[in-house]
Amino acid sequence: MLEVAFRHRFPGLSLDVAFSAPAGITALFGPSGCGKTTTVNAIAGLMRPDQGRILLEGRDLTELPPQARRIGYVFQDARLFPHMTVRANLRYPARWRRGAGRDFDRITEMLGLGHLLGRRPANLSGGERQRVAIGRALLSDPALLVMDEPLAALDAARKSEIMPWLERLRDDTRLPILYVSHAIPEVLRLANTLVLMRQGRVTHAAPLTDVLADPDLAPELGPREAGALISARVVGTESDGMIRAATAGGEILLPAMPAAEGRQLRLRILAHEVILSREAPRGLSALNVLPVRITRMRDGLVQLALGDERMLAQVTPRSAKALDLRPGIACHAIVKSVSVLPS
């Protein structure tokens, strides 16, 4: 666990930053200039905040020099040593840090680097170079991994190539990973925890699913992005190939895809893809109608309880009035489309 609480004054901006990052990926998200890099620099020991404390697994980092903090870094550009092979790059941290380099085989296997060990960075793709950079950071025996826009320099194809490796890293290690990003798709797919920053302050820090289902916060991610992430489990395949999946509020049909029974999925349901009806609808082309209860409403966004999970629907003030929508009432959520994220 990383626990950050510090204040700092620059001539143009006062920072007051406080959040915790548990194991898994914590995304630091906010507009340009809100203080993300400054926060990372304070954690790394590259700047000294006016006041505050930074604790990593209960260890106070505040007085430690950067090299003693046990933080592994991955930047936008891989920053590998060009004259060294991949193996030598990966072995590099073990030259100067005791305890580093221990899990060489496990980490190279986890990141799929085995067949690249003899190559030099110039002969790797951008995605492969980033994987080596991640491996090198992990082999420095870190207690925290900081990734500052690690995919920003990659094209879309390379981004989707490296994403599953990042998911594996998130799921296979118990490390807290601080992930700075502007990109909503990356945050949605990777983050467990979301820290929203604005003008030098943390406005919210919460599990990603809570932020996405909160009508007060969801708009901060962008007007078209409001919508929840819910979990589901594959229970069967229909004769036409469509997948039946169980959610907290009942079964849902998903587009055909190869999916074994029992597989866990994460479903992204955008607020503007959900229609609400007070009556059970009939004669609709939409396949998925879920029983829900309204829990909160704010500015055209309605939060719905689906069993013990929450989702969002977007409604116009006119429809909200016509249907007399208010917290506490039961209704039916007609879900026009669902996207499935790997889990």
Ligand X SMILES: Nc1ncnc2c1ncn2[C@@H]1O[C@H](COP(=O)(O)OP(=O)(O)OP(=O)(O)O)[C@@H](O)[C@H]1O
**Identity of the residue, 202 or 217, whose beta carbon is nearer to ligand X in the bound complex:** 202
Q: What letter does residue 342 receive in the DSSP assignment?
A: P
Contact assessment for residue 103 and residue 142, using Cβ atoms and an 8 Å cutoff: no
Q: Which residue has the tokens 């590099």?
A: 92
**Identity of the residue, 11 or 65, whose beta carbon is nearer to ligand X in the bound complex:** 11
What is the 3-class SS of 15-57, one letter each residue? Answer: EEEEEEECCEEEEEECCCCCCHHHHHHHHHCCCCCCEEEEEEC
Single out the residue of 237, 211, 185, 173 nearest to residue 301, CA to CA.
Answer: 211
**Identity of the residue, 17 or 294, whose beta carbon is nearer to ligand X in the bound complex:** 17
Shortest distance in whole angstroms from residue 331 CB to ligand X: 40
Shortest distance in whole angstroms from residue 286 CB to ligand X: 39
Q: Give the pairing of strands 176-180 and 144-148.
A: parallel
**Identity of the residue, 11 or 328, whose beta carbon is nearer to ligand X in the bound complex:** 11
**Identity of the residue, 19 or 165, whose beta carbon is nearer to ligand X in the bound complex:** 19
Shortest distance in whole angstroms from residue 41 CB to ligand X: 7
Point out which residues bind ligand X (CB under 6 A). Answer: 10-13, 30, 32-38
Shortest distance in whole angstroms from residue 8 CB to ligand X: 9
Shortest distance in whole angstroms from residue 16 CB to ligand X: 13
Sign of CA dihedral 68, 107, 21, 161: positive
Listed in sequence order, the residues at least 6 apart from 307 whose beta carbon sits closer than 8 Å to its beta carbon are 247, 248, 249
